[in-house]
Amino acid sequence: MADKSSSTAYWDANKRIILISLVIWFVCSIGFGIVLRPLLSGIPVGGTDLGFWFAQQGSILVFIALIFNYARFMNKLDAEHGVDEQ
């Protein structure tokens, strides 16, 4: 990864992965848990409504899934651009 174009492509892909992860996190935590909670209140999940579930537990589970997916995508990106740890 010596040339400038390869470095720029790597960081552009990295920023794209981060932006997609942040949008998913925002939609699940703020969108489903707060903004869309009244619309989701009629859907029962585990003894409560779906909006409350997202606010209390669902957004945390989505965040954990995003962490693992980010690591997986970054390992793949690192290997593609020759900056992996091996």
Dump pLDDT digits (tens) for 29-64: 899 888 998 998 889 988 889 888 888 888 899 999
For the chain, give the percent of residues with pLDDT over 90.
55
Task: Determine, yes or no, domain membership for 17.
Answer: yes
In a domain, 36, yes or no: yes
Asked whether residue 70 is assigned to any structural domain, the reply reads: yes
Residue 15 falls inside a structural domain: yes
pTM of the predicted structure, to 2 decimals:
0.81
Long-range contacts of 73-76 (CB under 8 A, 24+ apart): 73/17, 74/14, 74/17
Does residue 24 sit within a domain?
A: yes
Rounded mean pLDDT, 21-30: 93
Tell me whether residue 3 is in a domain. Answer: no
Containing structural domain, residue 49? 11-80
Phi, psi of 59 (to 5 degrees): -65, -30
- 25 lies in some domain: yes
d(CA 72, CA 54) in angstroms, rounded, equals 24
Number of domain units in the chain: 1
